[in-house]
Every structure is written in C-alpha cells, then in structure tokens.
A and B are shown apart, each in its own frame.
Chain A
Amino acid sequence: MTVWLRRQKRLIDYTVASLLRRAARNFALLAVYTLIVFVLATVMLFTHALRQEAMVLLDGAPEITVQRISMGRHDLIPASYVDAIADIRGARDVRGRLWGYFYDTANGANYTLMVPDGDRYGAAPDVGETVAGAGVARSRGVVPGKYLFLLSPRAKLFKLKLKDVLDADSEIVTTDLVLMAESDFRAFFDVAPDVHTDIVLKVRNPREVAKVAEKISNALPDCRVVTRGDILRTYDSVFNWREGILLALLGGAIFAFVIFAWEKASGLSAEERREIGILKAVGWETSDVIKMKMWEGAVVSLGAFLTGYVLAYIHVFYFSAGLLEPVLKGWAVLYPRFELTPQVDGVQVATLLFFTVAPYIAATLVPIWRAAITDPDAVMR
C-alpha cells in the first residue's frame, strides 16, 4: 500500500512539475475549463437557491388556499365562506387568514403584515404588541421592549410594542414579517370585521385534495382554489423550464469544450511527445504514463472546478448573479425581494462534476492512451 501511495505521489509530483513547465500552454485550457464550470455552477447554484426558498415557503403552506376573485382580481373573502367550506367532507382546520403587504415609507422596505395563525411563530402578540422579523427590527433599530411605529395607509400612526424578534434561523421567510393582533390588523388596514384575506384548510388524506378542491370551487364559484401541488408545479415549471433552456444552451458549450479538450489532449507538442518517449525508454510502463496523464487531468480538473465553483459562489451570493441578470431576471417576479441564502449542496456538486469533469476525462482518455503507447525506441530514431 505504501509503495502504491509513494508511486502515486511521485507521479503527481512529476505531473505538477510538467504542468508548471508548460504553464502558458496549459493556461488556455484551464481558463476555458474554469469558465465552463463557472457558468454551469452559477446557473445551478442560482436555481437551486431559488428552489430551496420556494420549498421553505411551501413547507408551511396549507394544502388548499381559497381566494375570492372579483373582476379578475384577488379580493377579500367573506367570513361566511369559512363555514361553507367547513361543511365539505374531508376539509379540516378551515381558517380565514389576514395578511397583507405594506410599503414602509420610513425606509423604503416592503413588509408582510400578518395575523399569526396557530403557534408557528410562537405566542401570538396581544393587542398593541407585535412580533417582527429580524430584518424589520434591524432596519428600524428596534429591540424587544421598545416601540415600533408604523404609519397606516390611512395616514394614522400606530404604536406597537415589540414583544419579540423572530428567530434568525428561519430568516429567509420571516425577515420581513410583522405579526400583530387581529384587531390591530383590521384597524391598520381598515378591513371590515367580517372578511379575511383568504381561507386555508387542511386535507387529511393527500389523495382527496383534488376532490375537496373541486367541491369547493363548485360550491363557491367566485373563488379560486389553489392546492399546494399547483403552487409546487408552477414553481417547478418556471424553474425547470428556464434551467432547461439554459442547460440546453450550455450543452452546446460543454460539447465545444469536450472537442477542445480532445484537441488539446491529442495535439501533443513535439516536446511532450519526446518527453513521453524518454519516459518509456528509461523504463516507464504504458500504464505508468497513462496514470501520470490521468493525474494531470485530475489536477487540471480539480483546479478548474474549485476555481470555477468558488467564483460562481461569489457571483451568485455576493453579486446576485449580476452577469446572468438579463437571462434570469424574470425570476424576480416570484419574489418582491431578492436575497439568496448561500447553499452548497452535495448532490448539486456531484451533478456539476458529472457535467464538467466526466466529459473532460472521457474526452482525454483516448488521446492519453495514444500518447502512452509511444514506442520506447522512438527516442533512438
């Protein structure tokens, strides 16, 4: 085993030295390779981060959401509908929700105002109190025990005592949240007491979701019924379609890269050819030369992969994928704000390896073999 390790170490040493000796020649390959990894990694990191955000959002989403539609627009839904839906067999935990977006002129940010439903965010705030997301508390400089002042759309000043700040762990979804008591919410937005923003419900058996949704839309023809599956599929088709288009375009790039790598690996310079001839003549075996060249491929791949991936990471998470913005901009429609949480995912890295390193290695196998079977007496001719 130690002999094996030492042998590999020597081959690696040798190959690194020989790469460095031809740094200029190898630079073009390394640059193209890195670029390919960078572009692919950017697309994948970006879509993955978006998908992840969507999943987090959906995780807490109810099985069915019912919205009232009036004149083609989302409208407030009467409380009486809650009872109507509750009568439908299979529907459970039917509840009216109260939530809305609020543009805070004080610092130009968008908040989500909401009356908490259940204990997902801890104990519900009492009248005159609030629980806010970390982002809100930070930007307004409020700490628990102090007051949060909000100017309502009717230009009325509300003074809410900050009871608690939401856990930073779930910041992705909660950072812009402002939770308040139902009466405060109704007063703030001037919402009548007998209406809700929308109605949510649960369905025990997943196989009945479609049936229940159908019954609801029959019973309440002026309502739109959205199931969690619908949202999921919409997100998915949006992500997948865009990612698919990009990957199809990039497929061409990968193919070009493979041809480039093949060219590069087959077009050995006279100098390299001579060197392999010498190695064979002084006693290296064909498989030693192959191993050495494979290590070369591994070193190049590792370098290009790490550099490309790190650059993509920085690009996506620190510069919001600025270079791809024209292509990817449409995504922003899904989210009013646009901050991605850094995510590195093993499956994704493995996928990226499959798309970049595997084709590279595959493209260089035959040229490497061809170089390695050089006759050992070639140097004597």
Chain B
Amino acid sequence: MIFHPTILALLIGSALSSVMVLAGAAFGVRVLRRWDIASGRHGQLVLERRTYLFSVLLAFVMVAELLSLLLFVFNADRMSAQFVGAMCAVGTLNANAFGFPALILKIAVFFLASVWLIVNHVDNMGYDYPLIRVKYAMLIVIAPVVLAAAGVQAAYFLDLDPEVITSCCGKLFTQDATGVSAELAGLDEKAALVLLFGSLALAGVVAAVHARTGQGGMLYGAVSVLVFVAAIAGIVSVVSLYVYEHPNHHCPFCLLKPEYGYFGYWLYVPLFAGTVLGMGGGPIAVFAGAPSLAEIAPRVSRRLVTTSMVCLTGFGAACAYAILSSGLILFGT
C-alpha cells in the first residue's frame, strides 16, 4: 500500500458513500413495502419526512462520487512518477489487476448516480412523489455497484506496490497486445470513425424526433449509451492518433495533459455530460404517465435531450477539429 493523502481521501470518501448508500437502500426497502401516499397515518408521515433526509444524503453521495471519479483519474496520473514504466494514468492503473476494473466501476457509479439525481430532480417537481418507488428501486440496484466500486478501489490501492514494473499506454494500446484495450486500439480506423460519427448522427435524428413529437425518449437513452461506447472506441483507435500526431499513440489519458493543450477536456467534458443527460433525460419522458408529471416530464425530458445533443454535437465537433487540424494523415487522399 502506498500511504498518500489523496488515496486516503478516496478510501474515506468511498467508505462514507457506501455506508450512506447502504442506509439509503435499507430505507428504500421500507419505502417499497410501506409507502402509501393516500394514507394520513403517522407512519406514512414519518416515512415522508425521512425521504427528505435520504434525498439530501444521497445527493451528497452522488456529488462525492462524481468528484471521486475525477480525483481517481488525476491521482492515477500524478502517481505515474512512482512506478517504473508508467508515464501516465494508464501505467498506474495497470500496476495491478484491480486498476482498470476500479476505473470502470467508478465510471458506472458516475453514470448511475447522475441518472439517479436526474430522476430525483424530476420526482421533486411532482407534488405527490410520483417516482418514489422508481427512485428507491433504482437505489437498491445502485447500492451494490457503489459497494463493488469501493471494494475494488480499496483492493487496488492496498495492493499497489511501487516495486512492480508496469506497462504504460505505449504497451497497452497496441495492436499486438491482447485484451480489450488492444482490441480498441486495433479497431480499423475507418470503421471506428464511421461508428463514431454514425452513432452521433443517429442520436441527432432520435433527438430531433423526440423534440418534435415527444416520442423516442427511451431510445435516446439507449443511443446515448451507444454513443459513449463508440466515442471511447473512436478516441482510443483514431482520434487520439490525430491529437498526438503519432500513428501509434492510442492513449485516452495523455489527452488530458498540458503537452496536448488539455485537448482531452474538450472531448471528455461534453461527452460525459451529453451521455449522462441523454441516459437520464431520454427515459424520463416515460414518466409522463404519472398524473402529476404529465406536463412536467415531457418538458424536462425534451430540455435534457436537447442539451445532451448540444453536448454530443460539441464532442463531435471537437473530434472533427482534432482530425482536420492534425498534421497526421491516416487516409490517403
């Protein structure tokens, strides 16, 4: 284990979040079983008042988890100096078997948490707690993921050993290596670009339909997940090459470094924002079925989907800019 304040902060943060989420899930079970909005019973009143507490607690957890993801990535990048063979976050994460699983779980928690916050927000707009069951059912699903993320993260940090010689992006993201990262890097450039811009175009069409008719919210949610996957594949296999102006440098993390003008932020901020808003914003249109949300849900959904599409368009534009302005030429003219 490497004793380091940021690691300590991440561990404490995860432990705190886990306890709160567990308490929230336990409360969720009670809500699912006992919630009866029409009842004026004392028990119902107590339950109702508790929802305020858990709303705040969980909002706190979710915000902490978002920060924690950022901190995790930055910390990994910072710690790369301590591992032989590590030049950026990839090397640090690759220092033991738990690094990348921890990152993936944390990203999953980030998405789930954000979607939960969006649902919570919409629920708070309806006066009769229309989504309370959905919300707490979701929480019961999210809780194990938060716990798993905390556990894997703890395993990762406890198992970190500076003696270990790790391999960095140069090794990991090459065609001749094995594993998912290598598969991504080895993806045919043309195919990756078609997938990337194709999925963005698809999202645009679905968003336009949604804006006009209010239909297709659920589909947009699914498409935004597709966009995210395609985008990550696209960044690793093609876009990064253009940014680095190097035919074999596939790293998704070095993009965030000052050497490349922090270009990664232009890609990741709109991509993550767009994906989150799409994943949460699309599906909430479904909740128009609840009388108190009949008018609110479609309006909020439309707004979030539009914002999501603006973000994704920004992401697409950043990718296009990287490709067009690069000195690297991959495809013969």
Q: A interface vs B, CB < 8 Å?
A: 44, 55, 58, 206-207, 209, 229, 232-233, 236, 240-241, 243-244, 247, 286-287, 290, 294, 346-348, 350-351, 353-355, 358, 361-362, 365-366, 368-369, 372-373
A61 shortest CB reach to chain B, Å:
12
- Please report the C-alpha to C-alpha distance between residue A354 and residue B60 in the assembled complex, in whole angstroms: 12
Taken residue by residue from 56 to 99, chain B's Cβ proximity to chain A (1 for < 8 Å, 0 otherwise) reads as: 11001000100100110011001001101100000000000000
- Please report the C-alpha to C-alpha distance between residue A207 and residue B163 in the assembled complex, in whole angstroms: 11
Residue in B10, B13, B124, B162 whose CB lies within 8 Å of A287: B124
The residues of A that contact B6 with a CB separation of less than 8 Å are 347-348, 350-351
A-B CB contact pairs (8 Å), 21 listed: A44-B5, A232-B162, A236-B2, A240-B2, A244-B3, A286-B49, A287-B124, A290-B52, A347-B74, A347-B78, A348-B5, A348-B6, A350-B9, A353-B67, A354-B12, A354-B13, A365-B53, A365-B56, A365-B57, A365-B60, A373-B52
A-B contact sample (7 more), CB < 8 A, given A207-B165, A347-B71: A232-B81, A244-B3, A247-B5, A294-B56, A347-B75, A348-B6, A354-B10
B95 shortest CB reach to chain A, Å:
13
Closest CB pairs A-B (n = 6): A354-B9, A369-B53, A244-B3, A351-B6, A347-B74, A240-B3
Known: A362-B16, A366-B53. A206 touches B2 (CB 8 A): no
A15 shortest CB reach to chain B, Å:
16
- Please report the C-alpha to C-alpha distance between residue A53 and residue B216 in the assembled complex, in whole angstroms: 56
- Please report the C-alpha to C-alpha distance between residue A207 and residue B98 in the assembled complex, in whole angstroms: 22
- Please report the C-alpha to C-alpha distance between residue A29 and residue B55 in the assembled complex, in whole angstroms: 26
- Please report the C-alpha to C-alpha distance between residue A361 and residue B63 in the assembled complex, in whole angstroms: 12
A232 and B52: CB pair below 8 A? Answer: no
A350 and B52: CB pair below 8 A? Answer: no
B162 and A233: CB pair below 8 A? Answer: yes
Q: Which residue of B lies closest to A353 (CB)?
A: B67
The residues of B that contact A247 with a CB separation of less than 8 Å are 5, 8
* Residue B41 CB within 8 A of the other chain: no
* Residue B212 CB within 8 A of the other chain: no
Q: Which residue of B lies closest to A290 (CB)?
A: B56
- Please report the C-alpha to C-alpha distance between residue A81 and residue B80 in the assembled complex, in whole angstroms: 34
B103 shortest CB reach to chain A, Å:
16
Known: A44-B5, A347-B71, A369-B52. A358 touches B16 (CB 8 A): yes
The residues of A that contact B64 with a CB separation of less than 8 Å are 358
Known: A240-B2, A350-B71, A365-B56. A206 touches B9 (CB 8 A): no
A346 and B3: CB pair below 8 A? Answer: no
* Residue B4 CB within 8 A of the other chain: yes
B74 and A350: CB pair below 8 A? Answer: yes
B67 and A232: CB pair below 8 A? Answer: no
The residues of B that contact A361 with a CB separation of less than 8 Å are 60
Which secondary structure dominates chain B's binding surface? Answer: helix
The residues of B that contact A373 with a CB separation of less than 8 Å are 49, 52
The residues of B that contact A206 with a CB separation of less than 8 Å are 84-85, 165
B82 and A232: CB pair below 8 A? Answer: yes
- Please report the C-alpha to C-alpha distance between residue A362 and residue B59 in the assembled complex, in whole angstroms: 11
- Please report the C-alpha to C-alpha distance between residue A209 and residue B85 in the assembled complex, in whole angstroms: 11
Residue in A207, A243, A372 whose CB lies within 8 Å of B52: A372
The residues of A that contact B75 with a CB separation of less than 8 Å are 347
Q: Which residue of B lies closest to A55 (CB)?
A: B81
- Please report the C-alpha to C-alpha distance between residue A232 and residue B2 in the assembled complex, in whole angstroms: 13
Q: Which residue of A lies closest to B52 (CB)?
A: A286
The residues of A that contact B67 with a CB separation of less than 8 Å are 350, 353-354
Taken residue by residue from 19 to 58, chain B's Cβ proximity to chain A (1 for < 8 Å, 0 otherwise) reads as: 0000000000000000000000000000001001101110
Q: Which residue of B lies closest to A227 (CB)?
A: B84
From A232, A233, A348, A350, residue with most partner B Cβ within 10 Å: A350
A62 shortest CB reach to chain B, Å:
14
B84 and A355: CB pair below 8 A? Answer: no
A53 shortest CB reach to chain B, Å:
13
The residues of B that contact A362 with a CB separation of less than 8 Å are 16, 60
B158 shortest CB reach to chain A, Å:
15
- Please report the C-alpha to C-alpha distance between residue A238 and residue B9 in the assembled complex, in whole angstroms: 20
- Please report the C-alpha to C-alpha distance between residue A346 and residue B77 in the assembled complex, in whole angstroms: 12
Q: Which residue of B lies closest to A1 (CB)?
A: B303
- Please report the C-alpha to C-alpha distance between residue A282 and residue B227 in the assembled complex, in whole angstroms: 48
The residues of A that contact B53 with a CB separation of less than 8 Å are 365-366, 369
The residues of B that contact A346 with a CB separation of less than 8 Å are 74
The residues of A that contact B165 with a CB separation of less than 8 Å are 206-207
B9 and A355: CB pair below 8 A? Answer: yes
Q: Which residue of B lies closest to A346 (CB)?
A: B74
The residues of A that contact B55 with a CB separation of less than 8 Å are 287
Q: Which residue of B lies closest to A286 (CB)?
A: B52
The residues of B that contact A353 with a CB separation of less than 8 Å are 67
The residues of A that contact B8 with a CB separation of less than 8 Å are 247
A354 and B71: CB pair below 8 A? Answer: yes
The residues of B that contact A368 with a CB separation of less than 8 Å are 56
The residues of A that contact B16 with a CB separation of less than 8 Å are 358, 362
A50 shortest CB reach to chain B, Å:
14
The residues of A that contact B81 with a CB separation of less than 8 Å are 55, 58, 232
Known: A346-B74, A366-B53. A351 touches B60 (CB 8 A): no
The residues of A that contact B85 with a CB separation of less than 8 Å are 206-207
- Please report the C-alpha to C-alpha distance between residue A354 and residue B74 in the assembled complex, in whole angstroms: 14
B6 shortest CB reach to chain A, Å:
4
A351 and B84: CB pair below 8 A? Answer: no
Taken residue by residue from 139 to 165, chain B's Cβ proximity to chain A (1 for < 8 Å, 0 otherwise) reads as: 000000000000000000000001001
- Please report the C-alpha to C-alpha distance between residue A232 and residue B5 in the assembled complex, in whole angstroms: 18
Residue in A209, A243, A366 whose CB lies within 8 Å of B3: A243
- Please report the C-alpha to C-alpha distance between residue A350 and residue B77 in the assembled complex, in whole angstroms: 15
B34 shortest CB reach to chain A, Å:
18
Q: Which residue of B lies closest to A54 (CB)?
A: B81
Q: Which residue of B lies closest to A345 (CB)?
A: B78
The residues of A that contact B52 with a CB separation of less than 8 Å are 286-287, 290, 369, 372-373
Which residues of B, 193-219, contact A by the 8 Å Cβ criterion?
Answer: none
From A55, A294, A354, A355, residue with most partner B Cβ within 10 Å: A354
From B13, B74, B84, residue with most partner A Cβ within 10 Å: B84
The residues of B that contact A290 with a CB separation of less than 8 Å are 52, 56
Known: A55-B81, A287-B124. A350 touches B70 (CB 8 A): yes
- Please report the C-alpha to C-alpha distance between residue A121 and residue B55 in the assembled complex, in whole angstroms: 59
